[in-house]
Chain A
Amino acid sequence: MTSNLAMDAAVDVLGRLPDNGLGRSRKAALRALQDTGLPGTQNEDWKYTDLSEAIEISNDWLRAGGKTAPVDAQSIAAVTAGLEVDWLIIRNGEVDLEALAALQRPGLSTTLLSDSEAPRETSNGLASMNLALLRDGIVIRIDPDTDLDRPIGILCIDNAAIARAASQARIVISIGAGGSASFVEYHVSDGDSEHFANSIVELNLEKDANVDYLRIQERHALHSQTGYLRAKLDAGSRLQHGAFDFGGKLVRNDLHIEINGPDAEAHFCGLYLAQDGQHIDNHTRVDHKVGPARSAQEYRGILHGKARCVWNGKAIVHAGADGTDADQANHNLLLTERCEVDTKPELEIYADDVKCSHGTTVGQLDETALFYLRTRGIEEGAARQLLTRAFAETIALQAPIEQLQQRISEGIARKLAGMSSGDAA
């Protein structure tokens, strides 16, 4: 079954979106969407993740006229406080113009997508929907050889307090040759009605550019999210990406990396912690188009209750991409019997001189390690918590942008505490 948006309602809402330079792109995107539809479970890449409910949420929102509730300033402060980060804010899909104007730094330019010539990616149904219903996006450009020492934060914050709602966010980032910058993409939401957020991020690293990129997702338990990030890496560039999913109901992340130049490097890691009622799906894809180059990823998940998770890591080594080194790992800790994870590494190799490896595990805590800790006087329950925490912390330690590590560790601790209190109930 191909699900799709309620087109009549979408056309209505589209007509009421801000009258900016996106008008024609929106209409073209909606037409494209009409043809392709949104991904359904008959699509191999989506067979474990059913978007029907998220699409229904979007349609209810469209039929009600596409209205949004205001976002509480305190919710923003709860994320931004205590961090040495320059924040850009997208509230319910609306770019905060004040924050955008305030971000002035040498070698950095920030503009609205509607005022920019930046490409408007619509290579899949969700990207088309995003553009069709997009109020506006953010375009960030770092000049060549500019080194931004302070991270740029992009806070996507949504509120669905009154009725079911949906929102679109779009960010286009390009780093000039030899430039270096770090980014924190942070997703939070509140309000007890269901919400569906859909974000698209384009990240272009020119020659020898260097990017640290951290994504943290702490959405409300009723809120769903799809996020697509495509990174293009030119020769000698380096991307370090870390992804942390703590919240949300149905979450699907697609990380697509294209290695387009020799000696590029992409290191990425991810952690998903899911409990009852949560479905978290991480799909990663690396296209090694040129060699020599290296990609390495490690994702870990901890599942509790009836949680459902998916990890699918695809590496494609294209013809001629000799000297490619691609490494994938996914490890899952199942704390209860009713949770379920599907883990699938995929390698497609069309070059000769390549080094590819993958390893995945699904299991429980290591009994030997547990006994070891107990022989040191650590009580069994505490030993289990310590090992579970350690399993997650090894990913936190790999994450880029050191000042956020404390925040991530707190997120891990809070989430795991929630899981163990679920045991008692």
Chain B
Amino acid sequence: MLEIDDLHASVAGNEILRGLSLNVKPGEVHAIMGPNGSGKSTLAQVVAGNEAYEVSGGTIEYLGDDLLQLTAEERARRGIFLGFQYPVEIPGVNNAYLLKAALNAKRAHAGQAEIDAFEFLQLAKEKMALLDMDPKFLNRGVNEGFSGGEKKRNEILQMAVLEPKLAILDETDSGLDIDALRAVAEGVNTLRDPEHSVVLVTHYQRLLDYIEPDYVHVLSAGRIVKSGDKALALELEEKGYDWIKEVANG
């Protein structure tokens, strides 16, 4: 589904990703871990199509297409979803409006008609119940005045409604209390099936207690330096990241 090969990317002249390769197949859940500044968020931003990041080498193939040729909105319409580490507050744009516009953009790309208002409301409420969100959030400005946990739930709500083929969740677990963490995990686990893939970018092992990954990768200085199964995450939790830096340098 997603094949990243020898990716180099920089932001404001600083090379962050230095030859990163990653292969995500349909239905797989990958966890990307690593210390601060290792390039985790850069990877998420580049795959989602943020033009502030310059790709200076390597390739990304998504469902057989050259992903780097597509705009951010085209990527979204083809099923890539980025859950933001810091979801943006957009006062004046109604949460329900954005949710519906996003869903209709995806449907239009798939040649489907716009969702009808009643059907949309049903769908949104069903997903909100799953995430234990109050339906009144639908009528507020996008993330406007939401707490940290509410913003992250709102990201997961969007993901749940859009049912992306590939969801990249950038530190969705950071700053969450245990209830919010469970709700987020519930959203991801509900999406999980042989068609849908998830890339979890996380600093801590904690989220992986609730979402069991198929693969765990450790990122250091812009490259994947070690890959394994969930046992690797536990090892990291135990030994910290310094150990990995030694492995990378050795």
Q: Which residues of A contact B (CB under 8 A)?
A: 366-369, 371-380, 383, 386-387, 389-394, 397
Among B51, B52, B76, B91, contact of A376 (Cβ-Cβ < 8 Å): B76
User: Would B90 and A372 count as touching, CB distance under 8 A?
Assistant: yes
Q: Which of A372, A375, A376, A392 contacts B101 (CB 8 A)?
A: A376
Q: Within 8 Å CB of A386, what residues of B?
A: 93
What chain B residues lie within 8 Å of A397 (beta carbons)? 92
Write out the residue numbers on chain A whose beta carbons fall within 8 Å of the beta carbon of B91: 390, 394
Q: Does B48 contact A (CB under 8 A)?
A: yes
Q: Is the CB of B87 within 8 A of A378?
A: no
The answer to whether the Cβ of B98 comes within 8 Å of any Cβ in the partner chain is yes
- Min Cβ gap A373→B in Å is 7
Is there contact, CB below 8 Å, between A390 and B93?
A: yes
Closest chain B CB from A382 CB (angstroms): 8
User: A378 touching B88 by the CB < 8 A rule?
Assistant: no
Residues B84 and A377 in contact, CB atoms below 8 Å apart: no
CA distance A379 to B75 in the complex (A): 11
B158 at the interface (CB under 8 A from A): yes
Closest to A381 in B: B73
Contact B90 A369 (CB under 8 A): yes
Establish whether residues A377 and B105, one from each chain, have CB atoms under 8 Å apart when the complex forms: yes
Q: Are B158 and A376 in contact (CB under 8 A)?
A: yes
Closest CB of chain A to B145's CB: distance in Å? 12
- Is there contact, CB below 8 Å, between A377 and B92? no
- Point out the residues of chain B lying under 8 angstroms from A366, CB to CB: 88
Q: Assuming the A-B contacts A380-B71, A390-B93, are A374 and B88 also in contact, with contact meaning beta carbons closer than 8 angstroms in the complex?
A: no
CB-based contact B50/A378 at 8 Å: no
The total number of A-B Cβ pairs within 8 Å is 71
16 contacts between A and B (CB under 8 A): A366-B88, A373-B93, A373-B98, A374-B72, A374-B76, A375-B73, A376-B101, A377-B73, A377-B102, A377-B109, A378-B101, A379-B73, A380-B71, A387-B93, A391-B92, A394-B92
Instruction: With CB as the reference atom, state the residue of chain B lying closest to A369.
Output: B88
B82 interface residue (CB < 8 Å to A): yes
Who on chain B is nearest to A397 by CB?
B92
Instruction: Say which residue of A374, A392, A393 sits within 8 Å of B73 (CB atoms).
Output: A374
Q: Which residues of A contact B73 (CB under 8 A)?
A: 374-375, 377-380, 383
Q: Determine whether the beta carbon of A367 is less than 8 Å from that of B52.
A: yes
Query: Cα distance A366–B48 when bound, in Å?
Result: 18
- The answer on a CB contact under 8 Å between A371 and B50 is yes
The 10 closest A-B pairs by CB, nearest first: A390-B92, A377-B105, A376-B102, A377-B76, A374-B72, A372-B88, A393-B92, A394-B92, A390-B93, A374-B73
Q: A377-B102, A377-B106, A380-B71 are in contact. Are A372 and B76 (CB under 8 A)?
A: no
For A376, A380, A386, which residue has the most chain B Cβ atoms within 10 angstroms? A376
Contacts of A377 in B (CB 8 A): 73, 76-77, 101-102, 105-106, 109
Contacts of A393 in B (CB 8 A): 92
* Alpha-carbon gap, A377 to B102, bound state (A): 5
Q: Is the CB of B93 within 8 A of A374?
A: no
10 further interface pairs, Cβ-Cβ under 8 Å (given A375-B81, A383-B73, A387-B90): A371-B48, A373-B93, A375-B73, A375-B82, A376-B98, A376-B105, A377-B101, A378-B105, A380-B71, A397-B92
CA separation between A378 and B162, bound complex, in Å?
Answer: 13
Instruction: Flag if B90 contacts A375 (CB, 8 Å).
Output: no
Q: How far is the CB of A103 from chain B (nearest CB, A)?
A: 36
**Nearest-CB residue, chain B, relative to A395:** B92
In Å, the complex CA distance between A391 and B77 comes to: 26
Query: How close is B80's CB to chain A, nearest CB, in angstroms?
Result: 8
Contact indicator per residue, chain B 132-153, by CB within 8 Å of chain A (1) or not (0): 0000000001000000000000
CB distance from A11 to the nearest CB of B (A): 52
A374 to B98, CA, bound (A): 11
Nearest A residue (CB) for B101? A378
Query: Which chain A residues border B82 with CB–CB below 8 Å?
Result: 375
The CA of A373 and the CA of B93, in the complex, are separated in Å by: 10
Please tell me if B49 contacts chain A, counting CB pairs below 8 Å. Answer: yes
Whose C-beta in chain B lies nearest to the C-beta of A389?
A: B92
A interface footprint on B119-137 (CB within 8 Å = 1, 0 otherwise)? 0000000000000000000
On whether the beta carbons of A375 and B48 are closer than 8 Å, the reply is yes
Q: Hey, which chain B residues are within 8 Å of A390, CB to CB?
A: 90-93, 141
Q: What residues of B have a CB within 8 angstroms of the CB of A373 in the complex? A: 90, 93, 98
Inter-chain contacts of B162 with A (CB < 8 A):
376
The residues of B that contact A379 with a CB separation of less than 8 Å are: 73, 105
Assess A372 versus B87: contact at CB under 8 Å? Given A377-B106, A391-B92.
yes
- Per-residue interface assignment for chain B, residues 76 to 119, with 1 indicating a CB less than 8 Å from any chain A CB and 0 otherwise: 11000110100110111100001001100110010000000000
From 33 to 89 in chain B, residues with beta carbon under 8 angstroms from any chain A beta carbon are 48-52, 71-73, 75-77, 81-82, 84, 87-88
